[in-house]
A and B are shown apart, each in its own frame.
Chain A
Amino acid sequence: MQNYDVLVIGGGPAGLAAAIAAHKNGAKTLLVEREARLGGILKQCIHDGFGLVRFQEKLSGPEYAERFIDEFHKLNLEAKTLTFVTRLEKNASGFSAVLVNRDGVETVTAKALILATGCRERTAKQVNIHGTRPAGVFTAGTAQHFTNLLGELPTKKCVILGSGDIGLIMARRLTLEGAKVLGVYEAKSTPSGLTRNIHQCLHDYDIPLYLSHTVTRVFGADRLTAVEIAEVDDKMQPISGTEQILECDALILSVGLIPENELAETLDVQLDPKTKGPVCNAQLMTSVSGIFSCGNALHVNDLVDYVSESGEIAGENAAKYVKAERKEIPVKAGSRLLYAVPQKLDLNSDNQKTVLYFRSRDILNGCTFKITVDGKTVFSKKYPFLRPPEMEKLQIDFSQYQLSENSEIQLDIEVKSDE
């Protein structure tokens, strides 16, 4: 049986950064990846725009991933690809993991685990689409896999439901490859994706965006032949009489991403219903001592730069992880915040460079983000606007606020109209 200090599960951008950071901090590290190649979803994200924050360069997904993969190999780090983790167990000395691959079944042990399992796309079944079950209903990620990895165009004429970033990227991608995208339909009254993607993916290619519209039914026996579109009211319920039928051979769904935490749940890691990822402290350690979380498994990020950053935080802290008792206090997010990560601070850790991520619940203009400790404002920052699709990031030195076990940390957003 092989013994490691740190076992990283997932070889995408979060796992790669975590493994590199754990190794650099002296931990004997193993990375496990179920696919044949490292890089995770970035392998199929061939569009550019990655790495602007980290490298000040506009890289494509493969270019960004391969910078980390090159470093990973240069450091002689160990990865097992085409390998699944089928079981995780916690025991007195740490964790054991059952791995299955082409060599058979083996068990490895590790003192700390880093869960870098990414996220999954919401499917048609999760957004209540009625009708037959023909081929041609794909998630945007599946359509991207067909187009960018297999070289097969999955549609000639399609409708995209949901204005998430992958849906917008795929609208452009399919158009470039000669397919007709009839439109992007979004049930909400505001787009879900980044504003720049609405412009460079839809407007540039004259692809219409219909807000407050949804797909209510699909038609077709073997292959999709048409979809029914309807306008929705402010409760997102279809308005009868507004239905129209659109002929198409594919329906592409970009209706949200959910952090993947099946393995975490088997170890009773506490999840946050808002992020759908583990509740973590600023070291990105979960409610279970020795288990760390990072990347899209922790919360869905819009920029890979932040995924890598959280991987590094988790990797460094997993390597530094000692059995010292934790003393955690909550970081409370006010009602104007959709959520904030981390949800807790460990007073026994160094909180000098705490990285705070948050999203506003609604589109807000002229606002101030405030941190109060025991009712006293210790930090504030003005934002001309905050939008839920665009995650904000701050680095805060919490060590200067003389935090004690009874301290109350509160995050709030104030808007001008409050005054």
Chain B
Amino acid sequence: MNELVCIVCPKGCTMHIEQENGAYKVSGNTCKRGAQFAISEMTEPKRTICTTVRTVFSQAPVLPVRVSAEIPKDKIFDVMREINSIIVKNPVRRGDVLLKDVLNLGADIIATSDLLRQVEK
């Protein structure tokens, strides 16, 4: 039996996972998302990453970004390398895609702030 702490919401439920005839049985969760998270942790753990990218704007040298969808946990540092190669040259908006389908993982890199709309080059 595996024990893990749910990271879906701040409640932090302690869950137990048992494998029975190839199916997973989750206990200790208090919602559906918890059970989904537990099974995904056993099969293909996924995470979101939030970081920054360089810009050409001196008043805002970095812009916060995140992945638009969860990516495999073991690809975090590969995705970080891709993100760190981005340099933002235009005053993009919150939600704008800066890099499409990073490493063919089905997630885009999107800006999470309107910061650059408020600064001059």
Task: Report the count of interface residues on A (CB-CB < 8 A).
Answer: 32
Residue contact B7 to A200, C-beta cutoff 8 Å: yes
| Complex contacts, B76 vs chain A, CB 8 Å | 176
Question: CB of B23 within 8 A of chain A?
Answer: no
| Complex contacts, B54 vs chain A, CB 8 Å | 151
Question: CB of A270 within 8 A of chain B?
Answer: no
Residue contact A176 to B7, C-beta cutoff 8 Å: no
Residue contact B112 to A60, C-beta cutoff 8 Å: yes
Most chain B CB neighbours (cut-off 10 Å) among A58, A62, A173, A204: A62
Which residues between 38 and 77 of chain A lie within 8 Å of chain B, taking CB atoms? 43, 46-49, 52, 58-63, 66
CA distance A149 to B64 in the complex (A): 8
| Complex contacts, B11 vs chain A, CB 8 Å | 390
Check A302/B10 contact, CB under 8 A, given A149-B62, A151-B61: yes
| Complex contacts, B7 vs chain A, CB 8 Å | 196, 199-200
Check A148/B113 contact, CB under 8 A, given A176-B51, A196-B7: no
Task: Report the count of interface residues on B (CB-CB < 8 A).
Answer: 29
Name 16 A/B residue pairs within 8 A (Cβ), A-sorted. Answer: A46-B52, A46-B64, A46-B112, A47-B50, A48-B48, A62-B64, A62-B112, A62-B113, A62-B115, A63-B112, A63-B113, A66-B113, A176-B49, A176-B76, A195-B5, A195-B12
Residue contact A49 to B80, C-beta cutoff 8 Å: no
Residue contact B62 to A151, C-beta cutoff 8 Å: yes
CA distance A61 to B112 in the complex (A): 9
Residue contact B48 to A58, C-beta cutoff 8 Å: yes
Contact residue among A59, A61, A148 (Cβ-Cβ distance under 8 Å from B52): A148
| Complex contacts, A177 vs chain B, CB 8 Å | 51
Expressed in whole angstroms, the minimum distance between the Cβ of A386 and any Cβ of chain B is 12
| Complex contacts, A149 vs chain B, CB 8 Å | 62
Residue contact B94 to A66, C-beta cutoff 8 Å: yes
Q: Which 6 A-B pairs rank lowest in CB-CB distance, beginning with the nearest?
A: A195-B12, A151-B62, A62-B113, A46-B64, A151-B61, A196-B7
Instruction: Please encode chain A, from 201 to 225, with 1 for each CB lying within 8 Å of some chain B CB and 0 for all others.
Output: 0001000000000000000000000
CA distance A194 to B5 in the complex (A): 11
Expressed in whole angstroms, the minimum distance between the Cβ of B66 and any Cβ of chain A is 6
Instruction: Please encode chain B, from 101 to 115, with 1 for each CB lying within 8 Å of some chain A CB and 0 for all others.
Output: 000000000001111
Question: CB of A198 within 8 A of chain B?
Answer: yes
Question: CB of B47 within 8 A of chain A?
Answer: yes
| Complex contacts, A195 vs chain B, CB 8 Å | 5, 12
CA distance A37 to B60 in the complex (A): 12
CA distance A188 to B35 in the complex (A): 32
Question: CB of B73 within 8 A of chain A?
Answer: yes
| Complex contacts, A198 vs chain B, CB 8 Å | 5
Residue contact A196 to B112, C-beta cutoff 8 Å: no
Residue contact A52 to B5, C-beta cutoff 8 Å: no
| Complex contacts, A147 vs chain B, CB 8 Å | 52
Question: CB of A303 within 8 A of chain B?
Answer: yes
Residue contact B51 to A150, C-beta cutoff 8 Å: no
| Complex contacts, B114 vs chain A, CB 8 Å | 66
Question: CB of B1 within 8 A of chain A?
Answer: no
Contact residue among A52, A63, A200 (Cβ-Cβ distance under 8 Å from B94): A63
CA distance A52 to B11 in the complex (A): 11
